[in-house]
């Protein structure tokens, strides 16, 4: 029992990290996934938020979730790539992470997904690809064969990543962006919505356009 709600046998209760609009969308994704049920949200910025509910469920302060260790799993539901500190706090509390794959997604049997990965509706993950921890593959993302997606990367709806490509840690690939074969995208990069990336992108840079071009100086990464 949690907050008066009985969890069915064989169902793992899930806490979503974040309590905003995207977290409510992730709750909807999890609701379609057999074996998981969202039972609450976790806040790490505004403690006053814990006095309210989100989607009718309680919002817990991150420092108060240790009692859920061993019985609950967590999934990060922040669209931003700046998720490292939050997930580190939760891990320190002894809570593990769920890998969420929507039933309409197709993930190759030869692909490897780490803990905390979120795979939304309509996603395709090709053969021999690897998705590192806490990466987010939003609606309709296409991942080709032999692709490496780094930890905490965020791929927005409709992004298309071709084969033998590497997307670095904490990279943000905008909605509908296309990354061509054999391209390496460095960590902490931002690829603008609808951009077509035809060559390597150095870490910490911001690129947009067709073909994608640098719009800002490289930042510390």
Residue 145 appears among annotated catalytic residues: yes
Backbone angles phi, psi at 90, to 5 degrees: -65, -40
Beta bridge partners of 57: 54
Q: From the candidates 60, 134, 145, 146, which is the catalytic residue?
A: 145
- Closest Cα partner for 73 from 84, 87, 61, 83? 87
Residues designated as active site: 145
């Amino acid at each position: 029992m949690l907050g008066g709600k009985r969890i069915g046998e064989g169902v793992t209760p899930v806490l979503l990290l974040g309590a905003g609009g995207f977290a409510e969308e992730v709750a909807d994704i999890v609701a379609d996934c057999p074996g998981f049920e969202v039972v609450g949200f976790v806040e790490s910025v505004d403690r006053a938020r814990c006095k309210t509910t989100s989607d009718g469920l309680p919002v817990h302060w991150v420092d108060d979730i240790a009692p859920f260790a061993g019985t609950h799993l967590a999934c990060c539901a922040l669209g931003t790539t700046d998720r490292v500190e939050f997930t580190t706090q939760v891990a320190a509390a002894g809570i593990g992470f769920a890998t969420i794959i929507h039933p309409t997604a197709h993930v190759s049997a030869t692909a490897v997904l780490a803990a905390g990965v979120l795979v939304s509706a309509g996603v395709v993950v090709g053969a021999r690809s690897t998705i590192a921890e806490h990466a987010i593959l939003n609606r309709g993302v296409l991942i080709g064969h032999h692709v490496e997606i780094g930890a905490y990367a965020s791929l927005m709806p409709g992004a298309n990543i071709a084969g033998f490509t590497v997307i670095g840690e904490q990279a943000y690939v905008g909605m509908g962006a296309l990354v061509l074969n054999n391209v390496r995208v460095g960590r902490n990069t931002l690829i603008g919505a609808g951009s077509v990336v035809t060559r390597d992108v150095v870490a910490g840079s911001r690129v947009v356009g067709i073909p994608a071009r640098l719009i800002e100086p490289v930042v510390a990464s």
